[in-house]
């Protein structure tokens, strides 16, 4: 249970960081990276 909790926290933090990057740089490449991060976190 603890591992799942830590995993969820890491995913949330990663998405939050990527969203911060997207807010500063609105390039198409960043959205692609964001999608890759989402896919990676789901796997």
Domain ranges, ordered by start, for the chain? 2-42
Task: Tell me how long the chain is.
Answer: 43
The residue among 40, 32, 37 whose CA lies nearest residue 15 is 37
pTM above 0.75, yes or no: no
Q: What is the pLDDT of residue 28?
A: 61
Rg for the chain, CA atoms, rounded: 12
**In this predicted model, what pLDDT tens digit does every residue of 1-43 receive, in sequence order?**
778 888 888 888 888 887 777 766 665 666 777 777 877 877 6
Which two structure tokens, joined as six digits, stand for 43? 């796997």
What is the Cα 11 distance to its own chain's centre? Answer: 6
Q: Give, as one character, the DSSP assignment of residue 27.
A: -
């Amino acid at each position: 249970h603890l591992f799942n909790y830590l995993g969820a926290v890491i995913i949330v933090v990663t998405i939050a960081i990527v969203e911060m990057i997207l807010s500063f740089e609105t390039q198409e490449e960043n959205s692609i990276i964001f999608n890759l991060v989402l896919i990676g976190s789901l796997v």
